[in-house]
A and B are shown apart, each in its own frame.
Chain A
C-alpha cells in the first residue's frame, strides 16, 4: 500500500550530461547541454544538426559525458601526494561516458558549415542512453539505438 503512494513518482537524472563540441566562433572546445540534472526520464532529445569542424574530416567523435555544475568544488590528486581543491569549470569537470567515444565515419568527408549528422538520444527507464545517428548527406542511418552508456 505504501508503494502505491509513490507509483506516480518520476525518476530524475542526478548529473548534467553534455556533448563535447568545437565552437568555431569562440575557437575553443565547448559543451552542448543534452540533459540537465533533474531531468525526468525516460526522455528523448533531438540535437541540432552537427557539422564537421574542418573540410575533409573523415569522422566525427561524439564525446558524451557528465560535467559538474559550474562553481562546485572539486578535489584533484596531483599524483605526488598532494590534493588540490578548486572551483570546477565545465572543461575541468568533463568526464566522458563509456570506454570509447562514438566514432562516426563520414563518407564522403565532411565540409565546414554543412549540416551533416542528425543525432537523437534517448534515455530509457533503466537509465540506458542510446544514440541514433543519420547522415544528412547520404540519408543513411549510421547508428540505430546504439547503447552509449548506462547513466549513473
Chain B
C-alpha cells in the first residue's frame, strides 16, 4: 500500500472544501460497497430521495446479505411516515438475527440447574 504524504487541512473538517456528490448516483455507488458500515451510512440518506430512495431501501431489505444492513433498511422503512413504505417493511418477515436455539439453551440451563 502506498504512503500518503498529502497534508490535512485544519479546521475545515475531514473533507476540506471539496463538494459531496448529491443525487441517487452517489448513494447507489455506496450501496455497492463491500463494507456493510458504508452501506448502512448510505441507507440513512435514502429517504431524502423520496420514492426512489424508498424503493432502494425495499430492494436492500430483500436482497442485501448482511443482517445489520437489512435491519437498518427495515427500521428506516418502519419509521418513515409513508403508509405504503411502512407496509412494505411489515410485510417482510422481520430479519431476526441468528443467535442459536434459545429455547434449547434455556432448557439445558434449567436441566443443569435442576441437577445441582
- List A residues at the B interface (Cβ < 8 Å): 19-27, 29-30, 32, 47-54, 57, 59-63, 86-87, 89, 91-92, 103, 112-113, 115-117
Contact = CB atoms under 8 A, between A and B. Distances in A.
Given A19-B19, A25-B38, 5 more contacts: A21-B19, A25-B27, A50-B22, A52-B19, A54-B15
Interface residues of B, number: 25
30 contacts: A21-B18, A21-B21, A22-B20, A23-B30, A24-B20, A24-B41, A25-B42, A30-B21, A47-B21, A48-B23, A50-B20, A50-B22, A51-B20, A51-B21, A52-B19, A52-B20, A53-B13, A53-B17, A53-B19, A54-B13, A57-B17, A61-B18, A61-B19, A62-B19, A63-B18, A86-B2, A91-B6, A103-B17, A113-B48, A117-B19
B17 A61 contact: yes
Nearest to B19: A50
Interface in B56-77: none
